[in-house]
Amino acid sequence: MDPLHPDSSLPQEDGAPTARGARRPVWLWAVGLGLGLLVLWTCARGGRNAPTGPKGAGRPVPVLAVAARTGDMALSLTGLGTVTPLATVTVRSRVDGQLVQVAFKEGQQVEQGQLLTQIDPRPFQVQLQQAEGQLAKDQAALTNARLDLARFKDLARQGILAQQQLDTQTSLVNQGQASIQADQAQVASARLNLTYSRITAPISGRVGLRLVDPGNMVHATDTGGLAVITPLNPINVVFTIPADSIQRVLARTRKEPHLPVDAYDRDMTQRLAQGELDAMDNQVDPATGTVKLKARFPNEDHALFPNQFVNAKLFVDTLHQAVLIPTAALQRGPQGIYVYVVKPDHTVALRPVTVQATEGDATAIQSGLKAGEVVVTDGMEKLRPGSAVSLAKPDAPASAKP
């Protein structure tokens, strides 16, 4: 008998479990329960993924689809362009003097001949008076010389006066006439300077910010100028197209010299103005492989502004009665370009197509699709050939931007 375990020698009853034996059935039950749940989950998932339907398609996939239609598509070339005015004039003074008045408001629309600034006219008025006074003096001297010449002619006919004196007097009259011409030129110059003291707009357009304030001295040699005038309507847009498209544009301009051109914002989301092609440059830029084109826009609403960056879209041709679908329906894979066509039983088939042209959100199909067939435009990432689909908008028409 063990003194530390007095009951260890006592016989135990048959079937009485030990402590380790009592824990073993609980562990086994936990493992069994877990295996059972795993089997049930696997069966349930297999049942959800089990093919249903006549062609093994699963649960219908919700998609957006539209019906292909026939219509006209305008083909265009798009290039980045810069808005350029027809002319830019820097207003400068043609005489020296003090600026005493600014008669325009910054940003104002001015007309040709309208007063812009005034230089102090008093010095030029004094010069004009001096020139006119000299002219009057010389005119009086010329009148006296002519009277003397008339008397000398009478005396010469009578033989009283020598011919030499007559010739001298004739020369004095001619000198007086030349002096009158010089004086008249001085008067005209003084009047012109007085006119130049009133600085008027050389062209019609929008005047910019004032560059010189009243009270400053201005000179004819100043390079900065007083203001800048830029006409806004009409206005030009200079843009570029790839050199490979030159012949395409030239062939079209032989039939229609003034092709339509639209100006869009940078994001190509808003059309700013409509105009027409005006000219094409005579050479290709070898650095970029592009050629410059110039389009003219009426710009009556001043939507285009000088030096503004825009996207110019030149329309060169039109496809008539083409099969049109949204560009979003096109997919690309190893087999080329294809679309998912929705069949009458609401399953899809993969259909290779040939693209004729793409313009914005619309694509013209050359072959592989007929008008009226419904193509998937959204949700095709979950599709496989033969998949069942549910159409959200099966008959929405395809759109083509003009």
Burial call 248-265: b when 16+ CB within 10 Å, e when fewer: ebeebeeeeeebbbbbbe
241 assigned to some structural domain: yes
Same domain, residue pair 219 and 165: no
Low-confidence ranges of the chain (pLDDT < 70): 1-33, 35-58, 393-402
The answer to whether residues 275 and 287 belong to one domain is yes
Domain boundary among 319, 352, 383: 319
Identify whether residues 298 and 328 lie together within a single domain.
no
Asked if 232 and 205 count as a contact pair (C-beta separation under 8 A), the reply is yes
Same domain, 297 and 341: no
CATH number, domain containing residue 125: 1.10.287
Q: What does the alpha-carbon distance between residue 91 and residue 35 come to, in Å, rounded to a whole number?
A: 93
Residues 94, 221, single domain; the answer is: yes
Q: What would you measure as the largest C-alpha separation in the chain, in angstroms?
A: 194
If asked whether residues 292 and 371 sit together in one domain, one would say no
> What is the rounded distance in angstroms from the CA atom of residue 31 to the CA atom of residue 35?
6
Do residues 312 and 259 lie in contact, with contact meaning Cβ atoms separated by under 8 Å?
A: no
The verdict on residue 305 lying in a domain is yes
Cis amide linkage into residue 234, ω under 30° from 0: yes
Task: Give the number of other Cβ atoms within 10 Å of residue 86's Cβ.
Answer: 14
CB neighbour burial string for 200-217, b if at least 16 within 10 angstroms, e if fewer: bbebbbbbbeeebeeeee
pLDDT tens, position by position, 313-365: 999 988 899 999 999 999 998 889 999 999 999 999 999 999 988 887 899 99
Nearest to 298 by CA among 265, 263, 266, 264: 263
Which pLDDT belongs to residue 13?
42
- The runs of H, that is alpha helices, within 160-287 are 163-196, 246-255
Looking at the fold, whether 315 and 235 belong to one and the same domain comes out as yes
Domain-embedded: residue 37: no
Asked if residue 368 is part of any domain, the answer here is yes
The span from the CA of 68 to the CA of 341, in Å, is 10
Q: Which bin fits 48, alpha (ψ -120 to 50), beta or left (φ > 0)?
A: alpha
Which tokens in the block code for residue 288? 């970029």
Q: What pLDDT shows up at residue 379?
A: 87
Residue 36 lies in a domain: no
User: Please, what is the end-to-end C-alpha distance for the chain in angstroms?
Assistant: 109
Shared domain check, 237 and 215: no
Are the CB atoms for 205 and 231 separated by under 8 Å?
yes
Say whether both 312 and 251 belong to one domain: yes
* Domains contained in the chain, number: 4
The reply to whether 273 and 306 lie within a common domain is yes
Q: Among residues of the chain, what percentage have pLDDT more than 90?
A: 64
Q: How many CB atoms lie within 10 A of CB 21?
A: 9
DSSP character for 347?
A: B
Structural domain that includes position 304: 77-86+230-319
CATH (domain of 360): 2.40.420.20
Cα atoms in the 13 Å half-sphere on the side-chain side of 201: 24
CA distances from 77 to 92, 280, 288, 293, 318 (A): 42, 14, 16, 11, 12
Residues 6+ apart with CB under 8 A from 305: 83, 232
Amino acid 17: pLDDT: 44
Assigned domain for 378 exists: yes
Same domain, 299 and 337: no
What does the block give as tokens for 318?
Answer: 């039109």
Q: Which of 174, 196, 218 is the last residue of a domain?
A: 196
Element (H, E) at 276: strand 271-285
Domain identity same for 270 and 144: no
SS3 242: strand
State the pairing for strand pair 336-342/389-391: unpaired
The domain spanning residue 238 has which CATH number? 2.40.30.170
Domain-located, residue 151 = yes
